[in-house]
Amino acid sequence: QVQLVESGGGLVQAGGSLRLSCAASGRTVSAMGWFRRAPGKGREFVAAIGWRTGYTNYADSVKGRFTISRDNAKNTVYLQMNSLKPEDTAVYYCAADNTIVGAPNFASLYHYWGQGTQVTVSS
């Protein structure tokens, strides 16, 4: 089992920045990712990172604005979000798995999920 605890959401004006954190405990993870769900929409891939290699994968909608990184010693993944837009408003979920290879964008491959943290970007 892997337990995930997220933090860092909040309210920010368009053009601002936020950093999300997700601390993992329990079993060693092989990949972690961030997904989001906006009001009235389905779950959307945001970014993912391979734990050993540091390989990263981003959704086109966030490339150049968001950066995913990890601290192996703290078993924590971060999502630095810059140049935020109102359309980034969503509940952001941390996801992890201990068997995935790489940094896939398929939610069904991640077996462990955080509780979600709200990010609201005002115009």
Asked whether the beta carbons of 18 and 9 are under 8 A apart, the reply is: yes
What is the reported pLDDT for 3? 96
What is the reported pLDDT for 94? 98
Tokens of 93: 């979920």
Residues of the chain predicted below pLDDT 50? none
**Chain segment 59-82, per-residue pLDDT in tens:** 999 999 999 999 999 999 999 999
What is the reported pLDDT for 70? 96
- Give the closest residue to 33 by CA, choosing from 8, 65, 4: 4
What is the reported pLDDT for 23? 97
Asked whether the beta carbons of 36 and 79 are under 8 A apart, the reply is: no
Amino acid at the residue 44:
E
What is the reported pLDDT for 38? 96
